[in-house]
Each structure stands twice: as structure tokens, then as C-alpha cells.
Chain A
């Protein structure tokens, strides 16, 4: 990998993630209909998408801010750029990136080129060659894996069939906002019976737009197919813009399986408000693995609607709340069809006055007889200033169901640390090891390099040296 981001010639970048033909535009801060028209025109979108955006904008305006969960009063909608070209991101300077973030990159040993990208000052860093060979392999199997913007232009029919059907604009204020101004994200279609064992990583084709504030992801796993999609990274992702509001929609058809793994570590000025929902049809399986570090506020509750008989949903979530942070995370499962099963496992860590909340909704509809669900949420509190809460909402309307719920709160014990120190580990090593052990049920589900990075990051957090 080249260490010089500036060397990457975007003109030669022919795999269709952004369209260099379009004239450079400059959209001002703030949001109004005109901004939305400009975004849509700039992307060369079909008329229906512009209408969709404008409609969503009206819904956004009409919905009040949520009055539950976290304090969102710090969001200033008028002071946000809703659309930035990657080239403009490039123009931002490395000098603007806060020292704390640079130090963390240093300590994590992130390569130079990647640092710039993660800090939002480089457009793209991963080798095109890797992506190119992967792309060939995927194409041969009929898999579509591309930028959501490009998917709209290149595969309009299938796109239009599913877009906005799982998470309608009106779902909540932030899904409405995303629907109005979305940009980037991934589009994946896996044809019937196709199983791709190697995880598809946004990493291979990550670019600034993809990591944007309002990305929109749509995944369709056709009958009997399988895909594991991995997005994000453990290194801190710096954004000078304070709002990240993504929407992820997934449909898993009969007998299919999808796993979606996210690790996010936004810089601590960011409000991270993400709506994620999947529908699992008959005998299908949907698994969300969701890791949240960093940000100022995160509100994220990946959801699975078990629509077909014997569908299975699983949500594994881990949150780390440090100083000044509130991680409000959890999951939602709706059992619609009979004999459906689900598991929610949530682990949170609060440190240095941070606050983590588990917020879960388990709903079993009247028709969902014979369903089973298990919810386990464990919280670990590192110091007495920190806080954890659980808000488990359970709504059961069916007979003959089997529902389990366990919650534990533990404090990082002086005695346990002493035990490890008596074997020669430093205090920081000892506490990091206990925390790593606590989250192990989740890290063991991550691709190896992510698990290693996550443990390393936890270690840094425990040393109190991460910005």
C-alpha cells in the first residue's frame, strides 16, 4: 500500500464508486428543499428518488425529536453539511485532526495512508487490485456489491423494488433525515442458493463517501443464499461533522442467512444515530453483530422481524462508554410467525463517568405461537463514576412461548485485579484482560483481525490514553 494518499489518481479509479464527470458543487451548511434538489441532481438520480427524498424531508420536519434515550439537544441541524464530495474531504487538512486522534493512530500502529483516510482527510486507500479480483469473483456468481448510489443508477429495477420497504422514511425522525439526504453506503444482492464464505468487507472498497454521515445500505439475500458483510473499523474515525445517521435495510429470503458485523469508533464529538432493520422470511437467519466504541452519543438498536415460520434472529452487541459518552444500544426482535427463535446478547462497559444503556424490545405477536427467545445483558462498570441502565421492554401476545431474560451488572473488582497482578500483570494489563474476557463472547464472533484490533483498543482505553 502506498503511504501517500495524494498519489492515488482518482481519474483511473474505474470501479464506479464516484462519478468524476460531475462538476464540482458546493452545497452550503443547513437543510432545505433546494439542498435536496441539488444533491439529487448532482447524483443524476431518477425523478422518483428526488420525490422520495422530498417526501422524506417533509416527514423529517413534521416529526419531533425523540424525547427518550439520550440527550440530543446538542445537534444543530442548521450547522451541518448534508453533502460533501470526496474531493472536498480531500481538501481538508491533516493539521485539522485533533492530537488525541493522531496519538491513537500512532499507538494502534495504523499505517500512514489509512490514518488519513480514517481521519476523513483522504478519499480512498485500499488497493484497487484486491478489490478488482474480489469483484470478478463476485460477478461470476451473480452477486452485486457496489456503492448504493451506483446501484440506483445501474440496477434501478431491483433497487426500487426493495429500497425503503423495510425501513420506511416515516419510521423515525432520523430515518426520515437519512431518506432525504442519503449518500453512499453499500448495496448487496446475493442470488438464490449462492453462498459466499469470505466476508464481504466495506474495507475493500471503502471511500470517503461510503463512510459518510448519511450512508444508506440495502442488502437482499435471496432464497437459500448466505452472505457475511463487515463494515467499519476499530480505529477511531474522525469526523468534523457531528451527526452520523445511517439506515441499513436487509431482507433475508426463505432459507437464507445474513450476518452483518459492524465495529464503529467515531470521534467523541459525533452523534451516532443509526436505524438498522432486517426482515427474515421462512427458515431464514439474520444475525447482527454490533460494536460501538467512541462517539458522543450512540443510539442504535438493530432489529429483526421474524416474518416467516422458523426464522431465527440473533443480535450481539457490545458498547464501550468512556468519558462524556452515552452508548444507548440494544436490539429489537419481533416474532411475527410461529416457531420463530431469537437471542439477544448485550455487553456493555462504562468507564470514566461514561454511561451505557441497554434498551431492548422483544415483541411476540399473537400468531407467533411456539416461539422462543432469550435475552442476556451484562454490564461491567469500571469505576464508581460510571453508570449503566437497562430498559428491557417485553411484550408477549402469544401463548406457548418460551422467553428468558437475564441481566447482570458487575463492577471491576479490586480483588480480581490484585489476583492478576500477583501473577506479574500491571494494573492496566490486568483490567484490560478482565474486560477482554468479559466481551469475549462477542469478540469470538468477529473476524480475527477485528477481534485482535478490538482487544488492542480496549487495552488502550483501559490505559486511559485514547482520545
Chain B
């Protein structure tokens, strides 16, 4: 069985009848990179939040299994500790909390989830070393570690810090929601390099993007096209090129007649 199984997933905005996800099926395994593309407002971010456990959406039908466990029963923090990570399209600022302190708390929260459930905080020198290494990899200036998380960060800086958090938390399934948007050309290369360095047989990556460019660096095994809350087409890496010429509307139409 694949590590991630999404079956007939339907989701509404919580406490409303507005359905955003209208039956999504998707399977992937660790070691794979999948990409999701689709028009604005088609439900890509909603899918990522439903997978992560955003309380603003409720699942009305379907299931999501990761490594054999039902994610839908878990709160967001439990999913994180179960190995999920979401790089947000719009990360939030946490004024007054430094990057270093925040990441240390997150790392410790993950370590707490160990077999005996007891606290097992990372030793500070060890943590510092890991953080500095990850910051070097992402070419982030050291002084940024003592700034408040995302507070006054530029759009591109926020994205880079999402990947920094990912590097420190070492997820087994990473969902990257438009991590490439807002990155300049050099930053895209650096961040993509970081993602590739973290990828391996124990991690799966789901990249949500509008652009071919990131897929040139982080090469996907499969591409899924999401239109109006449904996956209308899946295929190999060549699908992205096809989309560039046909566009979503035409592809959605083709699907409807075929």
C-alpha cells in the first residue's frame, strides 16, 4: 500500500454547506515527488490544509491514511508529530518569538512524541549547530535567527524560513504550497537545492505550484491537475509542459468530453 492514500476526499468550509474539495483521490509513497497544479481558487491550498488539519475545514466524506494511520482523527499538532509538514502559502508572523526559540520549541515538541512520551529536549549546543547548518544550506544570514518569526519578513524570506523549519523538523511527508512564489531566481535555486538535499527514500514531497521552473530543479515523478475541487488529470513530468501550451480550461474541457 502507498504511504499516503487519499480516497474520495470531500471537504466543506466548517459550519457551512460550501464544498471546496469534491472527491479527491491521490496516492503516493515516500521517496516520490508529486506536483499539484491548477487554476487559482481550484482548492490546492484547501487540500493542503485539510491534510494538515486546519480547523476551518471539515471533511464530509472520504479518508486520508498516512503510513497506515487515519490522519483525519488527529489535530494538526498530532499530524505534525506523525511526520507531516506544510510549507504555508501565507505563513503567519509570531511577533516577540525568535526564529531560534520557535524552532527549538517545535523540535522539542517532536522529541516529546517519542515512545515513552516524556520530555527529551534537545541540548542547546547541539540544536544551535543543526540550526546553523540548515541556515547555511539555505544561505540565510545567521543574524536572522534572533528576529521574530516572519515578523516584517519579505515574501521570499518567509518562504525560505518555511523550508528552514522543514529542514529542522525532518518530515516524512512535506507539502509545499507555492513555496516557489515570491522567490527570486537565485533564491529559487537555493531553496530547491535545500529540498533536494532533504529528499530521500524516507520522505515524500507534494509540491503545489503554478510554474514549471521549480519542477526543473525538483523533478516530479507525477503531476496532478486540480480543477474545481477534483483531480482532472494525472500524468508524468511531461504533463507540466503540455499545460503550458493548452492551459487549464482546455484540459478540463477535454476531460469532461473524454
A contacts, CB < 8 Å to B: 413-416, 418-427, 429-430, 433-434, 436-441
**Known contacts A414-B55, A418-B54; A424 and B77 CB within 8 A of each other:** yes
Is the C-beta of B24 less than 8 angstroms from some C-beta in chain A? no
B contacts, CB < 8 Å to A: 52-56, 75-77, 79-81, 84-86, 88, 91-92, 94-97, 102, 105-106, 109-110, 113, 148, 165, 169
Given contacts A425-B77, A437-B95, 16 further A-B contacts (CB under 8 A): A415-B56, A418-B54, A419-B88, A421-B75, A421-B76, A422-B84, A423-B165, A424-B81, A424-B109, A424-B110, A426-B77, A434-B94, A437-B96, A439-B96, A440-B96, A441-B96
**Known contacts A414-B56, A429-B105; A422 and B96 CB within 8 A of each other:** no
Whether B94 lies near A420 (C-beta < 8 A) is yes
Closest 9 CB pairs of A and B: A437-B96, A440-B96, A424-B109, A423-B106, A421-B76, A437-B97, A424-B80, A419-B92, A421-B77
Q: How far is the CA of A420 from the CA of B75 in the complex (A)?
A: 12
Which residues from A are CB-within-8-Å of B76? 418, 421-422
Which residues from A are CB-within-8-Å of B80? 421-424
Q: How far is the CA of A50 from the CA of B169 in the complex (A)?
A: 68
Which residues from B are CB-within-8-Å of A439? 96
Whether B109 lies near A429 (C-beta < 8 A) is yes
Whether B105 lies near A433 (C-beta < 8 A) is yes
Whether B96 lies near A438 (C-beta < 8 A) is yes
Which residues from B are CB-within-8-Å of A430? 77
Closest to B109 in A: A424
Which residues from A are CB-within-8-Å of B75? 421, 427
Question: Which of B76, B85, B105, B148: most chain A CB closer than 10 A?
Answer: B76
Give chain B nearest CB distance to A430 CB in angstroms. 8
Which residues from A are CB-within-8-Å of B55? 414, 418
**Known contacts A414-B55, A429-B105, A433-B102; A424 and B113 CB within 8 A of each other:** yes
Whether A437 lies near B94 (C-beta < 8 A) is yes
23 contacts between A and B (CB under 8 A): A416-B94, A418-B54, A418-B55, A419-B94, A421-B75, A422-B52, A422-B53, A422-B84, A424-B80, A424-B106, A424-B109, A425-B105, A427-B75, A429-B109, A433-B94, A434-B97, A436-B96, A436-B97, A437-B148, A438-B95, A439-B96, A440-B95, A440-B97
Which residues from B are CB-within-8-Å of A414? 55-56
Q: How far is the CA of A436 from the CA of B85 in the complex (A)?
A: 24
Closest to B79 in A: A422
Closest to B49 in A: A418
Whether B96 lies near A419 (C-beta < 8 A) is no
Q: How far is the CA of A429 from the CA of B148 in the complex (A)?
A: 17
Closest to A433 in B: B97
Which residues from B are CB-within-8-Å of A437? 94-97, 148
Give chain A nearest CB distance to B209 CB in angstroms. 20
Give chain A nearest CB distance to B219 CB in angstroms. 26
Which residues from A are CB-within-8-Å of B52? 422
Q: How far is the CA of A441 from the CA of B92 in the complex (A)?
A: 19
**Known contacts A422-B52, A422-B80, A424-B169; A416 and B92 CB within 8 A of each other:** yes
Whether A423 lies near B169 (C-beta < 8 A) is yes
Which residues from A are CB-within-8-Å of B169? 423-424
Question: Which of A415, A422, A425: most chain B CB closer than 10 A?
Answer: A422
Q: How far is the CA of A437 from the CA of B86 in the complex (A)?
A: 23
Give chain B nearest CB distance to A406 CB in angstroms. 14
Which residues from B are CB-within-8-Å of A422? 52-53, 76-77, 79-80, 84-86, 88
Closest to A347 in B: B96
Contact of A427 among B77, B86, B95 (CB under 8 A): B77
Contact of B92 among A415, A427, A440 (CB under 8 A): A415
Q: How far is the CA of A419 from the CA of B54 in the complex (A)?
A: 9
Contact of B109 among A413, A416, A423, A438 (CB under 8 A): A423
Give chain B nearest CB distance to A415 CB in angstroms. 7
Contact of B106 among A413, A416, A425 (CB under 8 A): A425
